[in-house]
Structure 1
Amino acid sequence: MIDHAHDLVCVREATERLLTAVAKLDDESVATPSRLPGWSRGHVLAHLARNADALVNVLAGRPMYVDAAARDADIERDAPRPLEAHLTDLRESAARFQEAGAVPGDWSRTVELRNGVTDSASRLPFRRWVEVELHHVDLGIGYELEDVPEEFTERETGFLADRFAGHPDVPPTRLTDGTRAWRTGRPGDAQETSVTGAPADLLGWLAGRRDGAALTASGGTLPALPPL
């Protein structure tokens, strides 16, 4: 069962880790490329701030973004800012999200995100946690998938395995880190590929952050995953 209050605490802790790390940068390093193609670190930070506000919109029953063009324009507008402006925006937008999460409401209700995607309101804090953890890694400033909390790694691996479950382009696949196991891909085929690896490598592959070279596939080749 999803515990949104627990996840809000995890978001706050992850945000503090992010802010502490980003505060050690300078204006020049914020402008350098991140690990995401075409995005500087400033783009990643701008996206994180605007994503917090977008999730506030969702909690309030408003559209997540006006439209895709407006979302992209906001990120491009904010990306070139100096470090202090990014830090202030990250802190203030994170506070707005926490305040929205503290408002009593029906957390079992269905909410709409981007592109017609729907989910339970109770999962929004976890979705925000995903944004903060993975984009902290995307900054390329010394925080790696091996550094994220174990709980996060396990839950996000399961979430992404569920996301690809039933996908016609992903063969039946069993994932395991040697302790836990998940299944994903299309159903109905007798042949199942087994993919084994360290927790961080499994998560990185599922999340599109690693190429899977550190994983071992048996019973078939390592599946090519569609973009998230």
Structure 2
Amino acid sequence: MYQSDLIIDGIQADKLMALQLEKALSGVKDQALEQASKIGDGATRLMFYTSCFTDNYQDVCAKLKEEDIRFLDGVAQLVKKRDIIYRMIHTYFEEIFRFKTQNQLEAIKASLLKAGVVISASALNNQAFVIGITTTICLGISFNASIIKWTSKASTLAVTGLGLYGTVQHAAESAERLRLMAPMYYNSLYLQKLEMMYFLVEPIFIKARAFESDVVSTIIKMVN
């Protein structure tokens, strides 16, 4: 998928960015500050691992290890399948539309058309509608801009060891927020080993108030 290709390109580009760190520090202040934040997060996460030496905190250590493994599982899927952005969006709407009736689908489609959002679906049933919505969002200007912005920063998946580990910490915090806000969606991603990749789409979910607003409002905000 297009978005996943951008992320992978961003990972590769970071190798070059690391060699040009001096330029980044002098000419790209925001990127340097963000990377410093990721390094700080990485150092903090490594500090958490000191709990592994204390018997009373073995549960904390086990949680950290599981997050690390599942993060690597998510990256592996990103590289091999290249469709995880589409799958995460599709899974979200699949949960929402699972039990919608034909009349409800008609009403949602009419409201979207009124807002200028056209959903192309081969048939007006739940699965076709979910595919149409997911495709429209993933091709949308707003959504692509969000992914491109993420891949353009020096804080993607690899610059330094601590920068990388800061990304793992960021992903873990994002996954935990999702678990508390939307446990069913979190579980669906967990079964696909994708919950640690949720941080890639979290900004667009927050902007769309995906777990607070009605479905029509959410779709409109994600598309626009």
Greater share of residues in helix: 2
TM-score (norm 1): 0.23
Greater share of residues in strand: 1
TM-score (norm 2): 0.23
